[in-house]
């Protein structure tokens, strides 16, 4: 396929490279910053543009990978070319594109992507939605050329995934940060915790998290929790986080009902 | 070395196997439950006992790997043999052993260990403390026969590590559980999140967590956070967790001061 990439951020960069590696032709890369557009365009053999009026209609699909609040305005500008338009946002409804074109879809990679970190794109879950069955089919076919984990997901489900990703990725990373700071304040290096963090994530690759929950809260080990809270006496923010998560683990374990 | 293992839980099981594989001789395995003692003893070619009065002094070290509150009483019983005694607890002071013997130390594996999950023991951080330099040296030497990650850590530091492990392992696993439940309620499987969870842990193997923090809170993306909180309107427990962690991420990012 001929693919035009609108955006030059983390997702745009990884997607463009994956498409290129799968044998597709990247027609143009757009960014309002010409340096960013040129860098990505160079890597994927595309033309760089920094003005949407220079967008070429000689493409099969526009992939819009930009900040959520400019997806609509950009789609409005691109719609006149009559090509398929897909955005890559977890939190944005398909309707944002349907306001301007019926040839609309979503191509959402459920992964944390950084420009300077390689990732095996074949393992990245791609969540696909199309405005009709034909578009869904086209997008699924395209997705399957770059990933082995392709899912059809509607807008409501995709928003749940986006929320769940905050709990599964952003918040755990912040807790790693808290742990790293606790060690640093006591002259210990973060490398001591890295194997534990990796093993915790690896365990849930083959188990459900509830099956492998460990720690003082799930054992209702009140002595250890009291000792930990005392150690956090000078850190009220961490004390609240510790108490809240521990109490929720205890409660959820006792009721077995999940979160009400 | 001749090593006697007091306990048959997750840590005892992994340690005994690692020692055996490194060429040490496991003399005895004790558990109050003979079936548990026998199972582990069988795997490591040791004698199983379920009565501490049957403990043989023909050993070089007793490794006590039992619940924190029975470490002291068991050490008291073993002290008469005059052998080196080490416990494996993150939260227990060396003094708990020193009450009964001067030949005391700690051998704390900083890893989440489950009987039914293999782990490459060479990567497990082992945190060593000895009652004197000679004991520390002996324990470090022993530790280096089974792990490439051996650290000397005093009791105060070890308690910090134990607390940090709750933030780095137990709490992230609980957040994975929350994410899994959100998906399940919306007819989606946890396998969709597994690559994200693994990549999040892999990223901090080469970076500090603060360098790779992503998500709506670190961007101070108020629209997305408001939308997420609205989705959690029927789940007050999750809403509080979401708000608290997001606010702490924002605050910590703005001050750059860490946790006060």
State how far Cα A142 lies from the chain centre: 19
User: What would the mean pLDDT of B35-40 be, rounded to a whole number?
Assistant: 98
- Determine the pLDDT at residue A33: 97
CA distance B48 to chain A (A): 27
Contact assignment for B160 to A112 by CB distance below 8 Å: no
Question: Residue B28 is inside which H or E element, if any?
Answer: strand B25-30
Those residues whose C-beta lies under 8 Å from the C-beta of residue A91, and which sit 6 or more positions away, are A68, A159, A162, B224, B227
Chain A residues touching residue B216 (CB < 8 angstroms): 166, 170
- Determine the pLDDT at residue A180: 98
Separation between Cα atoms, residue B107 and residue B148, nearest integer Å: 14
Separation between Cα atoms, residue B22 and residue B144, nearest integer Å: 10
**Residue B26 · residue B12 · CB < 8 Å:** no
Tens-digit pLDDT profile for residues B143-171: 999 999 999 999 999 999 999 999 999 99
**Residue B65 · residue B15 · CB < 8 Å:** yes
Identity of the residue in B124, B188, B209 whose CB atom sits nearest the CB atom of A157: B188
- Determine the pLDDT at residue A116: 80
Greatest alpha-carbon pair distance for chain B in Å reads 68
CA-nearest residue to A186 within chain B is: B157
Mean pLDDT by 10 residues, chain A (260 residues): 97 97 98 98 98 97 96 98 97 97 98 88 98 98 98 97 98 98 97 98 97 93 95 96 97 67
- Determine the pLDDT at residue B12: 97
Tens-digit pLDDT profile for residues B27-36: 999 999 999 9
Separation between Cα atoms, residue A22 and residue B69, nearest integer Å: 59
Chain A residues touching residue B68 (CB < 8 angstroms): 221, 223-224
Separation between Cα atoms, residue A232 and residue B256, nearest integer Å: 19
CB atoms within 10 A of CB B154: 14
CA distance A128 to chain B (A): 13
Q: CA torsion angle for B68, B70, B75, B77 (degrees, to 10)?
A: -170
Separation between Cα atoms, residue A177 and residue A174, nearest integer Å: 5
Chain A residues touching residue B154 (CB < 8 angstroms): none
- Determine the pLDDT at residue A115: 83
Chain A residues touching residue B124 (CB < 8 angstroms): 195
CA distance A56 to chain B (A): 32
Contact assignment for A176 to B167 by CB distance below 8 Å: yes
CB atoms within 10 A of CB B245: 25
- List the single best residue of A126, A170, A221 to mutate versus B (max B Cβ within 10 A): A170
Separation between Cα atoms, residue A107 and residue A59, nearest integer Å: 17
Name the pairing type of β-strands A125-130 and A104-109.
antiparallel
Banded model confidence at residue B117, pLDDT cuts 50, 70, 90: confident
Contact assignment for B125 to A235 by CB distance below 8 Å: no
- List the single best residue of B166, B215, B255 to mutate versus A (max A Cβ within 10 A): B166
CA distances from B67 to B5, B80, B111, B245 (A): 14, 21, 16, 32
Q: Does pTM top 0.90 for this prediction?
A: yes
């Amino acid at each position: 396929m001929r693919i035009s990439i609108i955006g030059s951020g983390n997702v745009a960069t990884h997607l463009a490279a994956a498409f290129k590696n799968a044998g597709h032709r990247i027609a143009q890369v757009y960014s309002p910053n010409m340096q960013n557009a040129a860098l990505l365009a160079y890597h994927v053999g595309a033309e760089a543009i920094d003005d949407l009026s220079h967008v070429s209609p000689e493409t099969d699909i526009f992939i819009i990978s930009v900040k959520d609040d400019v997806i609509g305005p950009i789609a409005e500008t691109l719609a006149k070319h009559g090509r398929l338009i897909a955005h890559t946002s977890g939190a944005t409804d398909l309707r944002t594109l349907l306001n301007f074109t019926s040839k609309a879809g979503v191509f959402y990679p459920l992964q944390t992507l950084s420009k300077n970190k390689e990732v095996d794109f074949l393992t990245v879950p791609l969540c696909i939605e199309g405005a009709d069955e034909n578009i869904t089919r086209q997008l699924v076919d395209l997705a399957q050329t770059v990933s082995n984990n392709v899912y059809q997901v509607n807008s409501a489900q995709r928003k749940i995934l986006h929320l769940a990703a905050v709990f599964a990725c952003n918040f755990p990373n912040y807790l790693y940060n808290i742990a790293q700071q606790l060690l640093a304040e006591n002259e210990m290096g973060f490398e001591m915790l890295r194997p534990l963090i990796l093993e915790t994530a690896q365990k849930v690759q083959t188990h459900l998290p509830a099956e492998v929950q460990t720690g003082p809260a799930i054992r209702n080990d009140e002595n250890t929790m009291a000792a930990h809270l005392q150690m956090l006496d000078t850190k009220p923010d961490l004390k609240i986080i510790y108490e809240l998560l521990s109490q929720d683990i205890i409660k959820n374990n006792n009721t077995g009902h999940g979160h009400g």
